[in-house]
Amino acid sequence: MHLSFLTQTCYLSYIQTVFPLCWCGLLPGETVVKEGKAAICFPSANEVFYNPVQEFNRDLTCAVITEFARDLLAQRGVKIVVPGEKERVVVSLSDETNEADAQTEEKNGAEEPAVTATVGEKCENGLRVLEGLAASGLRSVRFALEVPGLQSVTANDFSTKAATLIARNAQYNGVSHLLQASCRDASMLMYEMRGKKERYDVIDLDPYGSPASFLDAAVQAVSEGGLLCVTCTDMAVMAGNSGETCYSKYGSVSIKSRYCHEMALRIILHSLDQRAGVYQRYIQPLLSVSVDFYIRVFVRVFTGQVKVKNSVSKQALVYNCVGCGSFHLQRMAQSALNKTSQPPGLLIFGGIGTKYSAATGPPVGPECEHCGQRHQLGGPMWAEPIHDLPFVQKVLSAVSGNPSRFGTSKRIEGMLSMVTEELEDVPLYYTVDSLSSTIHCNTPPLLQFRSALLHAGHRVSLSHACKNAVKTDAPPAALWDIMRCWEKANPVKREKLSETSPAFKILSTEPSLEACFTVREDANPQSRKRHLTRFQENPQAFWGPKARARSCGGISSDLQDKRKKCQNKRKNQITDSSQLKDFPCKKFRQVSSPTHTHTHTGSHTKGPCELRTHEEKIHSASFLKIGA
């Protein structure tokens, strides 16, 4: 019987029957990849996707799911135990409180759940986890080995080779009782699990590229209050290179700007909330991070027709000036408390007592008031907080108290420390270097610029998404006043400025305040004082996104040489014909007759198609027709 006619379970059983001796061992050409507590068998060819750089992604996901399980399972009467985690001990400072403390400890002990869940063991009241695009199954194996309180883990992949590898890795790591391999279309699998009793508590989506095609099914298949983890690696689209493509995938227009990475986070949150709203559901972001070449969001999904009405007032458009980079947000709708329609003393938000109306705008004129340039329109995007700070603090405390649990604990601690310091009610940010570049002056030190904002009475913080970012509630006018004051102490050559340039128009206006650049103590955040790992260097050569997995595998050995050769190929045009390709181009292959004469119109000026004689062309064309 052909394998395509076998079901998922029969297929995996068939493989185990055919290869009984090799099932738990290594097959020819395979290597063992170790990460965390997992050790997976990985083929040397590129048949299954794996990127070692995303270890931080997997470590952070394990940490987030652990804290999510701790909170959720406590409501079900289950206490989780994490290896290496120290118990909190309260030490009394006086003998008088010893008796009271003892009574408190007895009370707390009586309230502790009777059921304890540890890693690697199946918990009947635990979480049901789905990894929709599992590839080698490394992430799912790590869930089974490192996250306590799990009932089951389903590792799904559409590739039969990946599903086979997942099942082998589950048995290789001894977690077959928790982890089940699945060979299904991820969307169809989630659509089939939309029932309230079949939904998953945690769904993890980490695709190669965009997750847009899986979001509709994911928001339906996650349980009430469940956790949805989504990764986006199509940053070229979400960072403004293709705004029209971003709209077709996420329902939002991205624009090129300094704050593009945070805007990408808010775009995916907008898309998730919009798709959930179709089914009377809404999202609550727990953690949203921009890391390296991708973004990662963790959101909880709830159901509530009343709360869904608030979604429109949580979205906003952004007006971005193309000259000076100033931006303004425009909410999609307004919500106000309708006091006349509710009983006395009763406040209802998002329900009968709330009145919604269309937003008024725009917040800007036809031209920028600072530089006279036009505005770009982007969005809509999520304009509410993108983190749940109490939850982030729990994850940070757990990772800091157990640093040996993850290989990237230092970076997780640095990243989450910056997240807790961000202004949660201030969307987007400016960068100090871009403000300085606009007026062509020296860049002020970060601490001095932050101090000037604090002296002016504004709030300010850094951002985890950009090294030189400044998040502040100060209006653009205040920022440019501070830059004008800085320019007076560090003057630029005004005679070289064009009268139509943004720098000339900004500097032609006198500042309305006297900025003070004396460094304040509170201008330097704790994450910077403690020298935490916030923006690490590239971990290895040729670091970044890896090649897409191929069904036939086979990465060529000269892949790196090919990448080097293709770098700057548009700037450095090849003029030597000996360096051009020595095989027929695609247009030459599409011949209609043996006497067809081909004229090459490719990117190079003279290729092999033009260098060959007329007889060689006829011979090649005849050979191609015979072969066809």
**Span 308-317, pLDDT tens digits:** 999 999 999 9
Residue reference for tokens 């989506």? 205
pLDDT at 206: 93
Question: If DSSP codes are grouped into helix, strand and coil, which group holds residue 336?
Answer: strand
More confident residue, 85 or 112: 85
Mean of pLDDT values over 602-607: 43
More confident residue, 415 or 345: 415
Copy the structure tokens of residue 604. Answer: 């190079």
**Is the model's pLDDT at 333 over the cut of 60?**
yes
Residue reference for tokens 């775009």? 267
Beta bridge partners of 113: none
pTM over 0.75, yes/no: yes
**How many Cα atoms sit within 13 Å of 617 on the Cβ side?**
20
**Is the model's pLDDT at 95 over the cut of 70?**
no
CA dist., res. 208 & res. 438, Å (int): 37
More confident residue, 109 or 66: 66
- Residue 595 confidence class, pLDDT cut points 50, 70, 90: very low
CA dist., res. 460 & res. 429, Å (int): 10
The mean of the pLDDT values for the chain is: 82
Residue 7 exposed, middle or buried by CB count within 10 Å (0-12, 13-18, 19+): exposed
Whether 328 and 252 have beta carbons less than 8 Å apart is answered as: no
Residue-wise burial string across 578-599, b where 16 or more C-beta atoms lie within 10 A, e elsewhere? eebeeebbeebeebeeeeeebe
pLDDT at 538: 61
More confident residue, 596 or 210: 210
Fold of the 54-84+114-337+353-400 domain: Rossmann fold (3.40.50)
pLDDT at 292: 87
- Residue 560 confidence class, pLDDT cut points 50, 70, 90: low
pLDDT at 335: 81
**Is the model's pLDDT at 150 over the cut of 90?**
yes
Longest dimension (CA), the chain: 106
Tell me how far apart the terminal alpha carbons of the chain are, to the nearest angstrom.
Answer: 31
Max mean pLDDT among 114-128, 220-234, 485-499 falls in 220-234
Examine residue 380 and say whether the peptide bond preceding it is cis (omega within 30 degrees of 0). yes
pLDDT digits (tens, 9 = 90+) for 165-224: 999 999 999 999 999 999 999 999 999 999 999 999 999 999 988 999 999 999 999 999
Beta bridge partners of 318: 329, 378
The counts of H helices and E strands in the chain are: 22, 19
Beta bridge partners of 466: 463
- Residue 118 confidence class, pLDDT cut points 50, 70, 90: very high
pLDDT digits (tens, 9 = 90+) for 11-43: 454 444 444 434 456 777 678 889 999 998 877
pLDDT digits (tens, 9 = 90+) for 497-555: 999 999 999 999 999 999 999 999 999 999 999 888 877 666 666 555 655 555 555 44
**Is the model's pLDDT at 592 over the cut of 50?**
no
Distance of CA 482 to the CA centre of its chain: 33
pLDDT at 601: 43
pLDDT at 110: 44
- Strand runs labelled E in 192-268: 200-205, 222-232
pLDDT at 236: 92
CA dist., res. 58 & res. 406, Å (int): 10
**How many Cα atoms sit within 13 Å of 167 on the Cβ side?**
21
Share of the chain above pLDDT 70, in %: 73
Give the H/E segment covering residue 128: strand 122-131
Mean of pLDDT values over 149-176: 94
**Is the model's pLDDT at 438 over the cut of 90?**
yes
**Is the model's pLDDT at 628 over the cut of 50?**
no
Whether 392 and 420 have beta carbons less than 8 Å apart is answered as: yes
Name, in order, each residue with C-beta under 8 angstroms of 494's C-beta and a sequence gap of 6 or more: 504, 507
CA dist., res. 351 & res. 349, Å (int): 5
What are the boundaries of each domain within the chain?
54-84+114-337+353-400, 429-530
pLDDT digits (tens, 9 = 90+) for 248-286: 999 999 999 999 999 999 999 999 999 999 999 999 999
Copy the structure tokens of residue 382. Answer: 């999520």
CA dist., res. 258 & res. 479, Å (int): 15
Mean of pLDDT values over 95-111: 44
DSSP character at residue 464? T
pLDDT at 293: 85
**Is the model's pLDDT at 79 over the cut of 60?**
yes
Give the H/E segment covering residue 397: helix 389-401
pLDDT digits (tens, 9 = 90+) for 375-434: 999 999 999 999 999 999 999 999 999 999 999 999 999 999 999 999 999 999 999 999
